[in-house]
Every structure is written in structure tokens, then in C-alpha cells.
Amino acid sequence: MKTLLIGLGLSCCLLSVKGQQVSYTLDYYLESARENSPLIQDYRNQKEIEVYERQRLKALYTRSKVTLNGDYLFVPVISKDNGKTSFEWNPQDGVDYYGYDLGQSSGHFQAGVTWTQPLLGHSAYKVADEQARMNTEILNDKMHLEQHQLERVVTEQYLLCLLDSKQIAFADSVGQLLDRQAVVVRHLAESGLAKLSDLQLVTIERQSNQDMEIASRQSFYTHLMDLNMLCGIKDTAVVLLEEPALTLRLLPAASSAFMEQYRLDSLNTLMSLHSFNVQYKPQLHLFVDGGLRISEFTSMQKHFGMSAGLTFSWTLYDGKQKRLMEKQARARMNSIAFYKDNFNMQQELRRQQYLTELKTYGERCRLLQNRLAEYRQVLAGYRKEMQAGELSVIDYITVLRNRIEAEKEYILLETNRQLLINTFNYWNW
């Protein structure tokens, strides 16, 4: 009873929508999925982050830096000078005391500003900037792959909704046919040309068809809500879906967009190695600082000053880390090449497999169409014979059941063919 009420409710919703002729296309759902995908939005944000990262790297390697610095060192001792024991925080001299040797360590105060400018940072910046560019290209490719994946998944879900919609329409047409036949059988029963059990048999078929229609409507609503959630559409209304025009996209293997990820992975491996090798280049910085430096807190105003100089560093040996990193890079390149070759092999096998299956689906669809045409001719003749009382209702219902099963098989077969076309287009990309 609960299932019947749900089905009737869904039927009312669908009839209301049909009256308003609200319909959507596959392109509408694909566009909604692209706009509302959290992963695609995340890739867009990461690309924006890379823009700011490139600006930061330019500032790091080529721009000057100003820092405020300071330190205060005090050396406390326990003094026993002049026969008096006392604690002193920062004595400048002493004879008899416990603590650090004041001749070797004494307190001091320093505060000032330091300006630093890298002089050899442009080559390092160029490498870092290329790495950031590579990251952006990888994000673009990931976003492209995700959009392609979304196209496949959304199309599959859309076709499932269409399958339910076709089954609903078919059940509705069968219901109308059974309603007409019920009227004919009732007249035959009243004329004594048919039995009451024949009318009951037609009624049973009508109820079975109603159950199939209710189940199809419930399945359509479930699949439609899954489609809306997948595309980020906040809507619970039942809508009409238009038939998509899916065609095979036959492209040469050399133009496969899947190969781009392997190309970028190889370039990124080389770029990472270049970034690592930056530390082996000479580093030269110019610095200027100014402020206060004192060891005694007397005449502080006389000890403000400045200094300038150069700092230089160059790594000459680090335990052969550079050579080890090169070996790691070669190993990664070998792995990428192996994955690429394996993918090419699988992609070619998939193409041949799907094309063969599509050919088989085409032959099966043609045979089913011929069988359905013959069923229609047989049922048309049976209908006339039954109306004349020359054929039993059981024989007519038996053939009608076979025709219904064949029609359902054809609808499912055609949907599977479209799903296979969608899968072929996904891999042949």
C-alpha cells in the first residue's frame, strides 16, 4: 500500500510537469556539474594560489629585505669585592667573584635595522618561476581531466533517468492498450463469446502493468535526485529530459588528451631536479645595517653607527646528494614511461573492445526491431480474431506478454548501447 501511494504521488508530479512542458537537456546538467564541482573549484583556487606564489618567489629571490633586530646579553655574578658579598646582574669588571670570566664574556646590547639585497638571485628565481608555471599547467590538466570525468559520469546518470522515462512511457502505452482490450473482453463476455475469467486475466495484466509503471516512476525519481546531487542542483521537482544526440568520436590515437598528464609528469620531474640544484649555485648578498651596539651603558648616544658588507656561500661538497637526486629522477622517468606505455596498450584494447561490442549491439537492435514488428503484426491479427470471438484471451495475453518483454529488452539494449558509446568517447579522447 505504501509503495502504491508513493507511485501515485510520483505519477501526479510527473503529470503536472508534463502539463507545464518543463524539460532539460544533457548540456544543462553538464554545465551545472562543471560550475558546481567542488574539485574543479578547488583547482581554480589552487591556480590563483600559484599566481600569488610566483609573486612571492620573485620577492624572495630578487627583492631586498629589511629586518629589525636586536639582542641584550647580561652576565650575572656573585661578587665578593671589598669583603662584601652581593649579586650583580651585569658587572663590567671585578676581582673576586663567582661566575663567567668577565675578561672573556661580558654583557652587551645591540639594536638596529638590517637591509639585505640578493645579488645572484635571478637564476634561482627563473628556476622557481618555471616550477610554479609547471604547477599551473598540471592544475589545468587535472581540471581538464576532471571535467572529462564529470561528462562521463553525468551522461551515464542522465541515460539511467532516460531509461526509466522510456519504461514509464512504454508502461503507459501498454496500460492504454489493456484498457481498450478490457472494454472489448467485457463486451465479449456480455455476449457470451468470452469467459469471466478472461476479463479477470486482463485485469491482472493491467495491475501488473500498473506495478511496473509505479516502479519505473519511483526509479526515475531516485535517479533524477542522484543526477541533481551529482550536478549540484538544488531541486526536487520531477522534470522531463530530452533525448541526447550521442555519437562516436573517432580520433587518432596520437591525439589522446590522456597523454598530457604523462608529459607534464616528466617535465615536472626534471623541473624538481633543477630546483634542487639551485642550492649548488653561488649565493651572494649585500647587507647594510645601522643601530646601537654597546658593551657598557655609559655614553650610549656616542655608539650609534652603521656597517656594510657582503656575504658569500657556495656548496662544494655535500656527500654526493646531487648525484643521488639525479638517480631518483631517472627512476621516476622510467616509471612514468612504463605507465604511459601500459596506458596506451590498454586504451587501444578498449577501443577495439568497445567497437566490437557496439557492432554486436547494432545487430541485436536490428533483430529486436524485426521481432517487434512481427509481434505488432501478430497482435493486430489476434486483436481482430479476439474481437470476433475466434481467439481466446489467454492466447492474446501470452503474445502480448512476449511483446512487452521484447520491448523492455529493446529499451534496455538501446540504453546499454548509448552507455557504451559514452564509455568509448571517454577513453577515445
Strand pairing report for 77-79 and 86-88: antiparallel
For the stretch 329-342, pLDDT in tens is: 999 999 999 999 99
* Type of residue found at 291: G
The structural domains of the chain, ordered by start, are 2-64+119-279+319-427 (1.20.1600.10)
Which position has the grid cell 564529470? 150
For the stretch 198-254, pLDDT in tens is: 888 889 999 999 999 999 999 999 999 999 999 999 999 999 999 998 999 887 656
State residue 4's pLDDT score.
Answer: 39
Q: Which three cell numbers stand for residue 37?
A: 564541482
Map 113-145 to HEC letters: EEEEEECCCHHHHHHHHHHHHHHHHHHHHHHHH
State residue 222's pLDDT score.
Answer: 97
Distance CA 52, CA 56 (A): 6
Assess contact for 383 and 399: CB atoms under 8 A: no
- Under the banding of pLDDT at 50, 70 and 90, the label for residue 394 is confident
* Type of residue found at 388: A
Assess contact for 369 and 424: CB atoms under 8 A: no
* Type of residue found at 85: T
Q: For residue 165, which phi and psi values (nearest 5 degrees)?
A: -65, -40
| Strands (DSSP E) found in 207-339 | 240-241, 283-294, 304-313
* Type of residue found at 159: L
* Type of residue found at 397: I
State residue 100's pLDDT score.
Answer: 76
Q: For residue 219, which phi and psi values (nearest 5 degrees)?
A: -65, -40
- Under the banding of pLDDT at 50, 70 and 90, the label for residue 309 is very high
What's the distance, CA 267 to chain centroid? 23
State residue 253's pLDDT score.
Answer: 56
For the stretch 242-298, pLDDT in tens is: 999 899 988 765 678 999 999 999 999 999 999 999 999 999 999 999 998 887 767
Assess contact for 66 and 113: CB atoms under 8 A: yes
Contacts of 137 (CB under 8 A, 6+ apart): 264
Distance CA 356, CA 322 (A): 52
Distance CA 359, CA 351 (A): 12
Which position has the grid cell 561528462? 151
Assess contact for 37 and 232: CB atoms under 8 A: yes
* Inter-helix orientation angle 321-387/259-277, to 10°: 160
For the stretch 3-20, pLDDT in tens is: 434 444 444 444 444 445
User: What kind and span of H or E run contains 348?
Assistant: helix 321-387
Distance CA 248, CA 254 (A): 17
Count of other CB atoms within 10 angstroms of residue 85: 11
User: What kind and span of H or E run contains 86?
Assistant: strand 86-88
Of 107, 426, 141, 157, the C-alpha closest to 264 is 141
Residue 417's SS3 state is: helix
